[in-house]
Structure 1
Amino acid sequence: MTMNANGIVAEIRKGIAAGEYAYGARLPSVRDLAERYGVSQQTAAAAYAVLTALGLTRTAAGSGTTVAAGPSADAYLGTYAPPDLTQGEAWQPNGSGGEATEETYLVRQSTAPVEWVEWGFTEGSDVVERHRVRRVDGVPVQHKLTALPYEIASRRPEGHEGVPPMLAPVGAPPMKPPHGMRAADWLGWTVDRTRCEITAEPMDPAASEALGMPEGSPGFRVVSIAKTAEGDTLFVTVTTAPLHHRVTMEIQG
């Protein structure tokens, strides 16, 4: 079986999460790992470097690479209901300030891959992807993917003519809801609840490219899944940021 460094990282992460590799267990040497997956020792060493950056393993002279984490645990923090969602503020730089800008650089219709099934999409169904890059003082700091079923993306707000806002192509003037109205309400989306999942893991190719970082670099990944009362997925946002950044959110009430 041949794979790249990211594939090796994913396999070992699954093993650690499932308890197959116990805390403190010694993992194969770089040479043995390379032979197991049919890759170069450089690729195997790169995989261990990512696992160490994620805090899953540690490498020490004389003792090799050992597991530094236990089985996966989901720390569910509870359910919160802000009193007025229209008061939410858009993203902004933390602490040091700086000029914040945001650009949509890719809008496309595609089909949902198998990886999106866990978000509530049907594999192969028609979806719309919107990719944005956020910058502070011109430096890319976040990549944001918004994914939603085509049927949802094609809806127009009441009284709106022309291209539906979520299908607006790159370069089109931004279309925003009236002041004081949530975008979801403006678009006629009935959001019952949103689940957020925050992990640290290798960046996917789209985020790596947008942020100008090597593919597979460790980063924060914040997945927000908006659902209807019936449990259908309205939209999903995936925000990716390098590990040296902070990701914060304020909940009112």
Structure 2
Amino acid sequence: MNAQRIVADMRAGIAAGELAYGSRLPSVRDLAEQYGVSQQTASASYAVLSALGLTRTTAGSGTTVAAGPSADAHLGTYAPPDLTAAEAWRPTGPGHEATEETYLVRQLVAPATWTEWGFTEGADVVERHRIRRVGGVPVQHKVTVLPYAVAAARPEGHDGVPPMLAPVGAPPIRPPHGTRVADWLGWSVDRTEAQITAEPMEPSASEALGMQEGSPGFRIVNITRTPEGETLYVTVTTAPLHHRITLDIIG
């Protein structure tokens, strides 16, 4: 028996929901006795699980599960010309409700690091942070960044707060059924470029997902551009590594 077997068992239990998010795991001593291994092997197992972002160890509180059951990080369903059927996140199995919450909306100036996305350093932008949950467990962190002028767009006939500037807690403003958000807001979308990597999470993502800072995760950067090549908006989606990234392209 080695650490690899213990890690495999616990990964399977977490993915299946048998080891619930937030539940406390056995102590190193108890885990060693359970599997008939040394405490050094048991400790190494927890170290691997922590490095994968599946568990979290806190002084005085022991080790707890830091991930929920496996799910699909579904990037969307693309079926021209109607993109309204896109599902941003869906559970892998039945019986888990998917919910979404916007918890931070702010205006700021674009830092130099965002020039690679096509934003001008110092330009006024709007940043929106969302957290998605499956069965009440946080599974996806999403940040949307737009130039202020784009965020301030109002649909025709809409006199209230621009939808992309709606503050936290405001009722969601959605387009009429069958209408894309981009068309509703008058955005001229030409293409979206996707960059998918596996790397340590940004602090805001790991905090929102309830994971230790620096935990590894999927990072999906989507850059949506106009026909002129200007950046319309950027989304940065973070999901734990034990989820899947899926995408449907139809037509």
Structure-2-length-normalised TM-score: 0.67
What does 1:136-215 correspond to in 2, within 5 Å? 136-215=134-213
Partner residue, 2:116: 118
Partner residue, 2:92: 95
Partner residue, 2:236: 238
What's the offset of the Cα at 1:212? Answer: 0.7
Q: Match of 1:155, as an amino acid? A: A
Contact kept in structure 1, 2:91 and 2:134, CA below 8 Å: no
Partner residue, 1:30: none
Identify which of structures 1 and 2 has the higher relative contact order when contacts are C-alpha pairs closer than 8 Å and 6+ apart: 2
What is the aligned counterpart of 1:227 among 201, 225, 235? 225
What's the offset of the Cα at 1:92? Answer: 3.2
Query: Take 1:204 and 1:187, find their aligned partners in 2: how far apart are those partners?
Result: 30
Structure-1-length-normalised TM-score: 0.67
Mark the runs of 5 or more structure 2 residues left unpaired by the alignment.
1-47, 54-77
Query: Take 2:234 and 2:89, find their aligned partners in 1: how far apart are those partners?
Result: 20
Paired-residue identity, %: 67
Number of residue pairs aligned between Structure 1 and Structure 2: 178
What's the offset of the Cα at 1:123? Answer: 1.1
What's the offset of the Cα at 1:93? Answer: 2.2
Judged with a 3 Å threshold, the aligned counterparts in structure 2 of structure 1 residues 119 and 85 are, in CA distance, closer, same or farther, namely farther
Backbone CA RMSD of aligned residues? 1.9
What's the offset of the Cα at 1:116? Answer: 1.0
What's the offset of the Cα at 1:216? Answer: 1.0
What's the offset of the Cα at 1:176? Answer: 0.4
Mark the runs of 5 or more structure 1 residues left unpaired by the alignment.
1-48, 55-80
Deviations 1:18-67 (A, max 9, x none): xxxxxxxxxxxxxxxxxxxxxxxxxxxxxxx89x869xxxxxxxxxxxxx
Q: SS of the counterpart of 2:218?
A: strand
Partner residue, 1:104: 102
Q: Match of 2:105, as an amino acid? A: V
What's the offset of the Cα at 1:86? Answer: 2.7
Query: Take 2:118 and 2:85, find their aligned partners in 1: how far apart are those partners?
Result: 25
Query: Take 1:94 and 1:100, find their aligned partners in 2: how far apart are those partners?
Result: 7
Higher fraction of strand? 2
Q: SS of the counterpart of 1:101?
A: strand
The 4+ residue runs of structure 1 with deviation greater than 3 A are none
Query: Take 2:118 and 2:82, find their aligned partners in 1: how far apart are those partners?
Result: 24
Judged with a 3 Å threshold, the aligned counterparts in structure 2 of structure 1 residues 53 and 136 are, in CA distance, closer, same or farther, namely closer
